[in-house]
Chains A and B, each alone.
Chain A
Amino acid sequence: MISLRRRYIRDNIMLSLIILNTIVILIPLFIIIVYVIAKGFDALSIDLFTKELGSPTRAMMGEPTGLVHTMLGTIVVDLIAVLIAIPFGVGAGVMLSEYPDHWANPVLRVLNDTLNGMPAVLKGLLAFTLVVKPMGTFSGLSGGVALAFVMFPIIARATESALMNIPWSIREAGLAIGLPRWRVILSTIIPAAKVGLVTGFLIAFARAAGEAAPLVFTSFGNNYLPIKWTGWFTGPVDTLPQRLYNLAISPYEHWHDMGWAAAIVLLAVIIASFIIARFVIRDKK
């Protein structure tokens, strides 16, 4: 028997180790955030949010340039992706959770896991084949489809686990008052799992919003605002992760600075969606 005092000491040592490990893990994240803000802060301006980029010479001529077309493009492409991925992802999640005996269940599970593990570049190629080739042009729509492939498996898995958390007895109670199966799922199980579903959407969004690779062959990138509004969907569209990459590899000093500013915006969007997710969870508890 170890004395009580020694057990307390051991307990404290273990706790200290755990706290130390956590801090070590958090340091790189902290460095990234501080570094990005320090490098990009000076390039943040009103122009960044109101002007388009244009050719590299535009800024050299002293004209105001910015990334408004990139921010709007990101919103368009991500919105298309969310609108496609949520219905399909939730549908797949319902199949995974509610119909364990259905023949399609194991098939879907394997396909979903494969899609989840597939490199994002391949999802871009998939969208290229499915959308860009038939349309004959790079487009915001194809970018949305590519990101939907990124979001879909995450939403499906999150939906599955959110629905599995609802006790089985609720389903039986619904059936016992003569409700059809689909009605029980739609009106009792899904509303009860709402928090988990929204959290899943936000995590999927945050993940997809940071992807550049699937967009290279799909939304392609653009230095200008589209001439007509339809250009957001049927023409090449700029997005933050891809613009960040393009600015970083460009030979222009002023574009490098702008890249750091773009990184702040992207980081803010992603961190904001995770913080919202936390609040959604906490609100409910």
Chain B
Amino acid sequence: MNNEPSNENKIRLETIDLSVFYGQNPGVKNVSLQIFDKQVTAFIGPSGCGKTTFLRALNRMHDLTRGARVTGKALIDGTDIYDPKIDPVTIRRKIGMVFQKPTPFPTMSIYDNVVAGLKLVGIKNKSLLDEVCERSLRQSALWEEVKDRLKTPGGSLSGGQQQRLSIARALAVEPEVLLMDEPTSSLDPQSTNRIEELIGELKHQVTIIIVTHNMQQASRVSDNTAFFYIGNLIEFNKTTKIFTNPDQKRTEEYITGQFG
């Protein structure tokens, strides 16, 4: 229900000539792109096209990758996240991420997993943590299934439940932007539906970027779509436009399944 026209054009995140290198090889080349506030942006493209690499650059996940180097700018609300004066931790508190595979913390209970982002930075207020835990698990559509066993290990859940747990954990710290790297690729159709519904609900509060292999998914959940091919951004536009009348021939070929 996004009727406010002012939101339509507010830029939340913007990259200018952003490139990511692995050693000497560019994984992503000179991408300039705007992400609009409280909208869902999908990144699509064939395997190895750089969409995940680009996504990971948006909250400095490459800092830990050996030999990875990022050039260009990535601005959130006008602040360059690659500014040497910026602490990556403050960036990542604003820009959360959900990974392709579920990543529950192995030794922690369901409860501790969800509130880890708060508890481990020193928030001890039990009633606040309880509240955040319930809210986050409800948002990720997991609450009803786990509310009676919050103390059991997060690793005891099924794969789909673990993924929703990972999403709840990301939401618990109330990020302003949520990066989702193929969040449903390891899920069954039912869990996938739930995650897609969740994205629809969340976009009123959070700016979402989702990498997906599934073009139907991109067309269902996103407002804007970016098509990547061999490290280049080929086309970026409204999702309806991309899927009905793309400007680029390559985009059309990919959408219609002629390659990829």
Q: Which residues of A line the B interface, CB within 8 A?
A: 100-101, 166-180, 183, 187-188, 191-192, 194
- A179 partner residues in chain B, CB cutoff 8 A: 89, 116-117, 120-121
B116 to chain A: closest residue by CB: A177
- B90 partner residues in chain A, CB cutoff 8 A: 178
- B106 partner residues in chain A, CB cutoff 8 A: 166, 170, 188, 191-192
- Check A172–B89 contact: CB distance below 8 A: no
Write the nearest CB–CB distance from B221 to chain A, whole angstroms: 20
- Check B61–A172 contact: CB distance below 8 A: yes
- Check A171–B64 contact: CB distance below 8 A: yes
A167 to B105, CA, bound (A): 10
- Check B107–A101 contact: CB distance below 8 A: no
B150 within 8 A of A: no
With contacts A177-B117, A179-B120 known, is A100 near B66, CB below 8 A? yes
- Check B93–A172 contact: CB distance below 8 A: no
Write the nearest CB–CB distance from B99 to chain A, whole angstroms: 6
Write the nearest CB–CB distance from B74 to chain A, whole angstroms: 16
- Can you list 15 A-B pairs with a CB-CB distance of less than 8 A? A101-B66, A167-B103, A170-B106, A172-B61, A172-B64, A172-B97, A172-B99, A173-B103, A173-B105, A177-B117, A177-B169, A177-B172, A178-B90, A178-B92, A188-B116
The interface residues of chain A, by DSSP majority, are classed as: helix
Write the nearest CB–CB distance from A233 to chain B, whole angstroms: 36
- Check B99–A169 contact: CB distance below 8 A: yes
Write the nearest CB–CB distance from A170 to chain B, whole angstroms: 6
**In the complex, which of the residues A100, A173, A178 contacts B89, with contact meaning CB atoms closer than 8 Å?**
A178
- A168 partner residues in chain B, CB cutoff 8 A: 64
Write the nearest CB–CB distance from A184 to chain B, whole angstroms: 8
- B89 partner residues in chain A, CB cutoff 8 A: 175, 178-180
**In the complex, which of the residues A101, A167, A177, A194 contacts B173, with contact meaning CB atoms closer than 8 Å?**
A177
A174 to B61, CA, bound (A): 11
With contacts A176-B97, A178-B117, A178-B173 known, is A192 near B105, CB below 8 A? yes
B213 within 8 A of A: no
Write the nearest CB–CB distance from B42 to chain A, whole angstroms: 19
- A172 partner residues in chain B, CB cutoff 8 A: 61, 64, 97, 99, 103
A180 to B90, CA, bound (A): 9
With contacts A169-B101, A192-B107 known, is A175 near B120, CB below 8 A? no
B59 within 8 A of A: yes
A100 to chain B: closest residue by CB: B66
A169 to B100, CA, bound (A): 10
A176 to B180, CA, bound (A): 11
- Check B92–A175 contact: CB distance below 8 A: yes
Write the nearest CB–CB distance from B204 to chain A, whole angstroms: 22
- A178 partner residues in chain B, CB cutoff 8 A: 89-90, 92-93, 96, 117, 121, 173
Write the nearest CB–CB distance from B65 to chain A, whole angstroms: 9
**In the complex, which of the residues A175, A177, A180, A183 contacts B64, with contact meaning CB atoms closer than 8 Å?**
A175
- Check B170–A177 contact: CB distance below 8 A: yes
